[in-house]
Amino acid sequence: MPNTQDKLRLLPAIERLLQTADQQPEFQTMDRKLLTQVLRRTVQKVREQIQQGSDIDFSPAAIIENAKQEYNNMLMPRLRRVVNATGVILHTNLGRAPLSKRAQRHVTDVMAGYSTLEYNLESGERGSRYQHVVDLLCQLTGAEDILVVNNNAAAVVLAVSAIAHGREVIVSRGELVEIGGSFRIPDVIRQSGAKLVEVGTTNKTHLSDYRRAITAETAALLKVHTSNYRIVGFCSQPEPEELVALGKESGLPVIEDLGSGTLLPVTMADWHEPSVAERIAAGFSVVTFSGDKLFGAGQAGIIAGRKTYIDKMKYHPLLRAFRIDKLSLASLEGTLMDYAYGKPEQDIPVHYMLNAAEEDLKTLAERLAGRIQRQAGGCGVAVVQTQAPAGGGSLPAVELAGYGVSVAFSTLSATMAEKRLRQQAVPIICRVQDGRILFDVRCLHDTDIEEIANACAQLERRQQ
Ligand SMILES: *Cc1c(COP(=O)(O)O)cnc(C)c1O
């Protein structure tokens, strides 16, 4: 047995590895510089393993095999398409809303070349990127004016900064929300240069609590959608209309961070998700919401409301820092065209999936189960009823009833199978439930069915 020093000395030189690699046809198409880099890195890894006393195979053939894998991994993008078999429509980790066909086409069209991003075709002069979606959004929400930014977090910061910097904002204690990614209302208000004035209690806030807190320093009343929790039992908040009336009476703007902000009415189980139009009609001065939640487009923050307030934001220095990019803007405009001129319930994937009929989901689950059974005979397959949240700061505490396929591989454990499914060329993201794999079918495309069945077949075959 050679000792560690001997082994290190015996490690093949890069030149020698390159020569060996050259004899294999698959290496011939590889970029020479990249290949050298990968071989160096692979040898370095082997060296470290030897130094740690590992009994690793350091023959040229083994090193080249590792390098091949490393090379292929390197060429694989890190941002990749996945199959969403979790049943969660607005899965924040999986990119929230998938785009409609029209939005996809519009994004492709805009990104492939030059565009009218900031160009006015009529005057032949500089135009505004913010203007493209204003007409449709005003029409669809009833708002007087619109401004779009990067995301809803930026929308809230911009609205509060423009309206309440150096002054006070009143918020109910029941609505001091934290959503994922460290967006917390108290911090956001502080960052916007305003002072938070909390009123009421966790479970109950009365209109009189707001009224008593109003002083000469008050700049706005802020309502926040409790998008990821619900307070139930002995609880109440003033009606939105009451809050608006108090604002009018006191000459104060009433802002709402609506979170998801749907343009279509959405009522599921015992929950009604307030639409943007509803809130504008109720008289809110400013409403902010996300572009990639129930709205169904790409990442964006939309600010809808009274012109006097929107104007303040248009000339605010933060706007430039928060500005939306052209691809998001194109996704927004394409989606808006679906709302205005298409059949949004069918054309916009988020709404299509949200409204999927249970029988249709069951049929889809049966199709998936059939294919898995045919291709991956040996594993246990069953069509089951499922429950999943809508996700993405919408429909808090609502579980959507759907269907899925539960799979038990003959020897592979569910946790191992879940891991392997994640490592597919197109990763399949699913849940583990009661020691079995669960593929919820709500968010699946037709082609995903095939992809899942193929992956199951591969897993079942490989373990035998
Ligand atoms: C999701 C959400 C936000 C943040 O929106 P992004 O578009 O993710 O920045 C802010 N407030 C509420 C209430 C939300 O639900």
- Could you read off the pLDDT of 254-294 as tens digits, one per residue? 999 999 999 998 998 888 999 999 999 999 999 999 999 99
Contacts of 359 (CB under 8 A, 6+ apart): none
User: Ligand 1: distance of its center to the CA of 182 in Å?
Assistant: 11
Closest CA to 252 of 345, 130, 169, 140: 169
Q: Whose CA is nearest to atom 6 of ligand 1?
A: 152
Task: Give dist(CA 365, CA 441) in Å, integer.
Answer: 6
Give the residue whose CA is nearest to atom 7 of ligand 1.
152
Closest by CA position to 282, among listed 320, 243, 321, 236: 243
Q: Is the pLDDT of residue 108 over 80?
A: yes
pLDDT higher than 90, residue 358: yes
Closest-CA residue, ligand 1 atom 13, reads: 259
**Whole-prediction pTM:** 0.92
| φ/ψ (deg, to 5) at 259 | 70, -100
* Alpha-carbon span 319 to 184, nearest angstrom: 21
Q: Is the CB of 179 under 6 A from ligand 1?
A: yes
In the predicted structure, residue 464 carries a pLDDT above the cut 60: no
Pocket test for ligand 1, best of 157, 187, 290 (most atoms within 8 A of CB): 290
Indicate the pLDDT class of residue 3, thresholds 50, 70 and 90: confident
Give mean pLDDT, residues 230-248.
95
pLDDT digits (tens, 9 = 90+) for 391-400: 887 888 889 9
- Model pLDDT, residue 236: 93
Residues with Cβ < 8 Å from 391, sequence gap 6 or more?
88, 89, 90, 91, 92, 96
Q: What angle, rounded to 10 degrees, do the helices at 14-22 and 60-75 form?
A: 80
C-alpha of 33 from chain center: 37
Report the pLDDT averaged over residues 63-90. Answer: 92
Residue 438 and residue 417 in contact, taking contact as beta carbons nearer than 8 Å: no
Instruction: Kindly report, residue by residue over 375-408, the tens digit of the pLDDT.
Output: 998 899 999 999 999 988 788 888 999 999 999 9
- Taking 60 as the threshold, does the pLDDT of residue 28 lie above it? yes
> How far, in Å, CA of 231 to CA of 100, rounded?
34
pLDDT digits over 83-95, tens only?
A: 999 999 999 999 9
Write out the two tokens for 254.
């009433």
Question: Ligand 1, residues 227, 276, 294, 350: which to mutate, most atoms within 8 A of Cβ?
Answer: 227
Q: Please tell me the predicted confidence (pLDDT) of residue 305.
A: 98
DSSP state of 229: -
Instruction: Decide if pLDDT at 2 tops 80.
Output: no
Q: Is the pLDDT of residue 463 over 80?
A: no
Burial of 259-268, coded b for 16+ CB within 10 Å and e otherwise, reads bbbbbbebeb
